[in-house]
Structure 1
Amino acid sequence: MSKIKYIITTLICITAIFSCKIGQKYEPVEMVDMPDTFDTRGMGEGSTADIGWSTLYSDTILLELISKTLEHNQDVLIATARINEMAANNRISFANLFPHLGGEVAGQKEYLNYGGDSRKYSPELRANLNVSWEVDIWGKLRWANDAAIAAYMQSVDARQALQLTLISQVAQNYFELKALDREFEIVKQTVEARREGVRFAKLRYEGGLTSEIPYRQSLVELARTETLIPRLENELKLKENDLFVLAGEFPSGTIKRGEGFDPKKLPLGLPIDLPSSLLKRRPDMLQAEQKLIQANANVGIAYTDMFPSLNLIGRLGGENTELANFLSSPTWFVSGILTGPIFNMGKNKAKHNAAKAAYEQEVYSYEKAVLGVFKEVNNAIITFQKMREVRQTNEALYTSARSYHELAKLQYINGLVSYLDVLDAERQLFDAEIALNKANLEDLTSLVTLYKALGGGIIK
């Protein structure tokens, strides 16, 4: 009974010591003079994260592409494997907090012959249950476990940030593909109009109504417009290949198209959350904070390395020279080893200082990331508002250019203006149509950028 009391008392003392955890507890970084709100510019308040990407983007083909990308993109698969790796590493760090139990069964026969005339055989059979435990007196193993948890959470947040980026990339590439489709359609329509212009100019020239110059000018305009077709065909194929690879597929065939290219079908604005809430929701900011937590834990590990460590070792089993008497030959062994640094030229102190400097770097990196978020969100809000204005002015420009073109054609047929006036009207109409198509694309992509900046896109 005295041995049992001794063991119980020892375990109680060890547990009391085990509860000690020295080092600086992590405290969130407080940003000085951080604005309370973003420059919302008339947009409502709320959380964009509550708007899933399947709600924001209504094009079924785009939704299908995003789903494929989130499931098959190689970067997502790499990030998922990384999460599994960090989860296993976290399990290892957690297991180090507890005693390790192992077994040993061995049999051996040793031959000895000292001096050449003293032969002796020394057999031995043993079976032991071994226990080893590094007692976490100062909290080193718990700091290591905190660091492992932070590393695991970084991998989770990194995958979410990657998913958010991929959703934005797929949406932007798809809108760019649709814009190229529209531009290609405009060019083909213009080519047909140019061919009709050549036919009409030729008839007037051959009929003696005009000189050869208008006819030759119409041929030049036709040839100039036709040079745009192969360039656009190349850009279309390259953009399709980009989407195939994003979705984890080999570039082959064509990407299906969905609904028409109309930015008016998308929301007029998005709810803008408070900065403090956004920083706690954006995956990249969560990842940056987990880096801080890991760096702080590494400081704790380096600090506790300057103090002694206690290792307990125990063995219980049987040992004998013969199998017959094995069960009646118990053995046990208990050992406690206290080790610690005495003199190492300040190596442990330098490690602690290095860990503190690394933590300081992460603090500055986090502050830089916060500033970057403010810039990104404010830029996205401004761009979103201005691209709407640009689209509206380009719509007005296109309407005016179309009226001017129709009037010039009518007056040319009636002989009131020259063919140069018609060509000028056609060029202005073509440029206005291309500019409106570009403005529509910029309007769409500005919404994609704002959605990503506000941390939306994770919820389907």
Structure 2
Amino acid sequence: MNKLNKIKYAGLTCVLISLASCSIPSVVTREENKTTPAVFANETNDTLNTAKTQWKSYFTDSNLSTLIDTALKNNQELNINMQELIIAQSEVRARKGEYLPFVNLGASAGVDKVGRFTNIGASEANTEIKDGIETPDPLQDYKIGAFATWEADIWGKLHNAKKAAVGRYLASVEGRNFVQTNLIAEIANSYYELLALDNQLDIVKQNIDIQTNALVIVKLQKESARVTELAVRRFEAQVLKTRGMQFSIQQQITETENKINFMVGRFPQAIAREHKSFEKLVPTKVNAGIPSQLLENRPDIKQAEMELLAANLDIKVAKARFYPSVSISAGIGFQAFNAKYLLSTPESLLYSFAGDLVAPLINRNAIKASYISANAKQIQAVYNYERTLVNAYVEVANQLSKIKNMQQSFELKSQEVEALNQSVGISNDLFKSARADYMEVLLTQRDALESKFELIETKKSQMNAFVDIYRALGGGWN
């Protein structure tokens, strides 16, 4: 092939490569919208934010703090997420290594026996290498050298792949922070649920004593013919019902304790706590700050943002696959048919240097599919980011409202309990003096018991709102 023909073929190759890299399918991308409301509903634009408070300062109960501290060390889910970080970090290292040269050292040894009546065997027969030395038969082969390959990252494909891996690593970090935030909140909520159950159990035991005393009085009145057997049976049934509630609550206490132990990462054991002052717990004042601070404080929002960044880079990586890739390979070493000649130079010296320019030409469906998928995933990431942001705002708004409403509800429920406690004493006195029948006593006792349970439930809801607003604002991970 003459020089002119070589130039023609080279020019034709460049044209084909150029045509192959021009046709890139058009897809729709969607940019994220980070706009948030200026303030939360019925709140000021004060930037003081409770999310900046460390959890040890936010939860002042020493027993609860011990549980959380133990969970942060032993919780299995948190430790699994830590391994996810190591995996993501290794992925970054792998992507970084791809756009650096690969250099390998190698050595080989072998033997090759070619048939005498073959074209190679016939050509090598009686061939002198030098100084009367004929070609050995069988022919040995020894080789040692260094070989390198490198893909020139002209279009930024490898560099963007590395940056995408970094984004996913940072998303994994925020994912772990989000797991930690949820873990702290879940332990705190379960702890307050346990205190509420302890108080409900105390209330049930107190009512059992009250109802048992009332049953004794009814039996005495039945002996004096002031009431019938029906009244005695109704009071007995009420006592038995309340005793049944006692065992139901005890089972709930056991399950709640074990739930906390599981989150703490240990086998079932008693949970240290002090429940006597549960009704008197008053949540500290919460400063919600402004909605835009959620972008900084909420780990799930930052995780979605990092995943969106990685998805945008994936599009660039997929797009670069349509363009020609340039790779360079080189090698240097020694090769000989006898080990004693291996380091003889220049006879045994070998070296190579080559450059490749390759671009997809026909049947690029796989590359197109990868590119379209990358775009679809980018749009998914945008929607996920927007959903996470809106969900964060809604959670904060709900918990701010719940804190105010539960406070007012608790105050009214406390007054209701006080009124019914007084009515229990009044109904008992009236019953003793035959000015009220036994049904009025039973109904009053039932209403009083239910109101006390509701008061404890309201206090638990109030404390849950205190915990959940801290989680919703993004506290607990820093």
Scaled by the length of structure 1, what TM-score is found?
Answer: 0.88
| 1:439 counterpart = 2:442 | no
When Rg is computed on C-alpha atoms for both structures, the one with the higher figure is 2
Show structure 2 runs of 5+ residues with no match.
1-28, 126-135
Partner of residue 327, structure 2: 311
Amino acid across the alignment from 1:366: Y
* Alpha-carbon displacement from aligned partner over 1:155-195 (angstroms, at most 9, x marks no partner): 11111111111111111111111111111111111111111
Amino acid across the alignment from 2:475: G
Give 1:302 deviation, angstroms: 0.8
Matches within 5 A, 1:320-339: 320-329=336-345, 330-339=349-358
Q: Return the alpha-carbon distance in structure 2 between the equivalents of residues 139 and 288 of structure 1.
A: 24
Q: Return the alpha-carbon distance in structure 2 between the equivalents of residues 322 and 345 of structure 1.
A: 48
After superposing the two structures, state which structure 1 stretch, 44-53 or 111-120, moved more. 111-120
* Alpha-carbon displacement from aligned partner over 1:31-85 (angstroms, at most 9, x marks no partner): 35x3111125479642222212211222222112212222222211111111111
Q: Return the alpha-carbon distance in structure 1 between the equivalents of residues 467 and 206 of structure 2.
A: 30
| 1:156 counterpart = 2:173 | yes
| 1:451 counterpart = 2:467 | no
Q: Return the alpha-carbon distance in structure 1 between the equivalents of residues 232 and 421 of structure 2.
A: 23
* Alpha-carbon displacement from aligned partner over 1:20-41 (angstroms, at most 9, x marks no partner): xxxxxx9973335x31111254
Question: Aligned match of 1:219 in 236, 244, 249?
Answer: 236
Give 1:265 deviation, angstroms: 3.5
| 1:62 counterpart = 2:64 | yes
Partner of residue 298, structure 1: 314
Partner of residue 145, structure 1: 162
CA contact 2:38–2:45 (8 Å) conserved in 1? no
Q: Return the alpha-carbon distance in structure 2 between the equivalents of residues 397 and 102 of structure 1.
A: 82
CA contact 2:103–2:147 (8 Å) conserved in 1? yes
* Alpha-carbon displacement from aligned partner over 1:400-458 (angstroms, at most 9, x marks no partner): 11122222233333444333333232222212111111111111111111111111112
Matches within 5 A, 1:346-425: 347-425=366-444
CA contact 1:263–1:443 (8 Å) conserved in 2? no
Match of 1:160, SS state, is helix
Amino acid across the alignment from 2:54: G
* Alpha-carbon displacement from aligned partner over 1:307-341 (angstroms, at most 9, x marks no partner): 01111111122222333343333322111111111
CA contact 1:295–1:359 (8 Å) conserved in 2? yes
After superposing the two structures, state which structure 1 stretch, 301-310 or 230-239, moved more. 230-239
Q: Return the alpha-carbon distance in structure 1 between the equivalents of residues 71 and 421 of structure 2.
A: 41
After superposing the two structures, state which structure 1 stretch, 415-424 or 388-397, moved more. 415-424
Q: Return the alpha-carbon distance in structure 2 between the equivalents of residues 335 and 193 of structure 1.
A: 97
Change (3 A) 1:411 1:346: closer
Match of 1:115, SS state, is coil
Give the CA RMSD over aligned residues: 2.5
Q: Return the alpha-carbon distance in structure 2 between the equivalents of residues 291 and 264 of structure 1.
A: 44
| 1:274 counterpart = 2:285 | no
Matches within 5 A, 1:228-307: 228-250=245-267, 252-258=268-274, 260-262=276-278, 264-307=280-323
Partner of residue 191, structure 1: 208
Change (3 A) 1:233 1:44: farther
Q: Return the alpha-carbon distance in structure 2 between the equivalents of residues 75 and 241 of structure 1.
A: 16
CA contact 2:68–2:184 (8 Å) conserved in 1? yes
CA contact 1:86–1:155 (8 Å) conserved in 2? yes
CA contact 2:45–2:290 (8 Å) conserved in 1? no
Question: Aligned match of 1:124 in 141, 146, 166?
Answer: 141
Change (3 A) 1:263 1:70: farther
Q: Return the alpha-carbon distance in structure 2 between the equivalents of residues 120 and 183 of structure 1.
A: 97
CA contact 2:330–2:353 (8 Å) conserved in 1? yes
Partner of residue 15, structure 2: none
CA contact 2:142–2:339 (8 Å) conserved in 1? yes
Change (3 A) 1:112 1:206: same
Partner of residue 112, structure 1: 114
Match of 2:33, SS state, is coil
Change (3 A) 1:84 1:345: closer
Identical counterparts, % of pairs: 25
CA contact 1:179–1:261 (8 Å) conserved in 2? no
Q: Return the alpha-carbon distance in structure 1 between the equivalents of residues 228 and 360 of structure 2.
A: 102
Q: Return the alpha-carbon distance in structure 1 between the equivalents of residues 381 and 224 of structure 2.
A: 81
Change (3 A) 1:229 1:386: same
Q: Return the alpha-carbon distance in structure 1 between the equivalents of residues 456 and 178 of structure 2.
A: 31
Q: Return the alpha-carbon distance in structure 1 between the equivalents of residues 34 and 191 of structure 2.
A: 38
CA contact 1:57–1:266 (8 Å) conserved in 2? no
Give 1:208 deviation, angstroms: 4.0
Give 1:213 deviation, angstroms: 3.8
Amino acid across the alignment from 1:231: S
Partner of residue 196, structure 2: 179
Runs of 4+ in 1 over 6 A off after TM superposition: none
After superposing the two structures, state which structure 1 stretch, 254-263 or 72-81, moved more. 254-263
Alignment: residue pair count: 435
Q: Return the alpha-carbon distance in structure 2 between the equivalents of residues 448 and 280 of structure 1.
A: 20
Change (3 A) 1:50 1:266: farther
CA contact 1:317–1:331 (8 Å) conserved in 2? yes
After superposing the two structures, state which structure 1 stretch, 425-434 or 387-396, moved more. 425-434
Amino acid across the alignment from 1:395: S
Amino acid across the alignment from 1:300: K
Amino acid across the alignment from 1:80: M
After superposing the two structures, state which structure 1 stretch, 90-99 or 106-115, moved more. 106-115
Partner of residue 21, structure 1: none
Match of 1:307, SS state, is coil
Match of 2:355, SS state, is strand
Match of 1:194, SS state, is helix
CA contact 2:39–2:45 (8 Å) conserved in 1? no
Give 1:124 deviation, angstroms: 2.5
Q: Return the alpha-carbon distance in structure 1 between the equivalents of residues 416 and 203 of structure 2.
A: 16
Give 1:269 deviation, angstroms: 2.6
Partner of residue 50, structure 1: 52
